[in-house]
Amino acid sequence: MTTWSTSILFILYVFSTLSSTECANGTISAVIAFGDSILDTGNNNNLNTMTKCNFPPYGRNFPGGLPTGRFGDGKVFSDLIVGSSVSDQLHLFKQYITKLEAVVGKEKSNAIISNALFLVSSGNDDIAITYYSLRLRSQFAVSSYTSLLVTLASNFTKDLYGLGARRIAFMGTLPLGCLPAARATVGGILCAETVNQAAQIFNSKLSSELSALNNSLSEAKIFYLDVYSPLLDLIQNPQKSGFQVVNVGCCCQGILSCAFPSTYVFWDPAHPSERAYRIIANQTLLKYANSFS
């Protein structure tokens, strides 16, 4: 069970991006991201997975208008946090370190890793798909399943720390019960509140565990990123940000998509639109900028 969950949560969609980002009082040497389809910039194209998005109309608002493997109409959260183009994507972090050492040497590689910001997205697919869609809830109560996910996240954080990571930002889940796919299971209008409650339980446990790790790992700066609240605000108050549709995605009824994706909070049944991502990313940077440094 542990091996399977770890592969879904942290290896299946691993990718990395490299940039130089000024943040508050320090310089972030790289942004290295692990997680699910909320962060994936196309690594999934080369993996044996059931779900793909490397075909139109995905990517219609991405530069060049071509599908890249991002689950959206354009840029995703990790693109907008980094603010630069994506470098070569690597499947495993240890391979990334080996290649980095070959390019810049071990000393410089260690400096890049220790000054990098590690961005991790966790829990979205595990709760929305594995637990609810695949009926895993017949085997686990929400409390025990979310505790298992947090244990995996904690172990992964310790592994990253052991490999030299010092600044680690963990994103909690989205309001999963308000995704169009979840709404469809309860009639399509209201959010699936039981799914939202599971997401909130996971997020609360994750936040507490990360705080404990931050205290126990002496050189680490580990913090929780709340992406649940800003997306829920867009869903509950769409007009405030100029959105018109919150209960369905712009894409994909057959091969068609809506004419104006910027008016939709969601691009497809499970992923926000680029405009929604951009608003969430801007709020995240404003709220957590000092933590990034």
Hey, what are 234's tokens? Answer: 């867009």
The answer for 59, left when phi > 0, alpha when psi is -120 to 50, beta otherwise, is left
H/E stretch holding 241 reads: none
Query: Given 16, 29, 36, 37, which residue is catalytic?
Result: 37
CA distance 125 to 220: 27
- Each residue of 179-188: b (16+ CB within 10 Å) or e? bbbbbeeeee
DSSP 186-238: TTSSS--HHHHHHHHHHHHHHHHHHHHHHHHSTT-EEEEE--HHHHHHHHHSG
Which entry of 36, 122, 257, 271 is annotated as an active-site residue? 271
User: 78 CB contacts (<8 Å, ≥6 apart)?
Assistant: 17, 31, 33, 39, 41, 119
Other C-beta atoms within 10 Å of 252: how many? 17
37 is catalytic: yes
Total H helices, total E strands in the chain: 10, 8
* Active-site residue flag, 268: yes
Q: Is 273 a catalytic residue?
A: no
Q: How far apart are CA 212 and CA 214, in angstroms?
A: 5
Report CA torsion sign: 62, 63, 67, 71. negative
Q: Cβ distance 37 to 277 under 8 Å?
A: no
Q: Both tokens of residue 89?
A: 């994507």
Q: Which residue in 40, 78, 268, 273 is the catalytic one?
A: 268
Active site residue ranges = 37, 268, 271
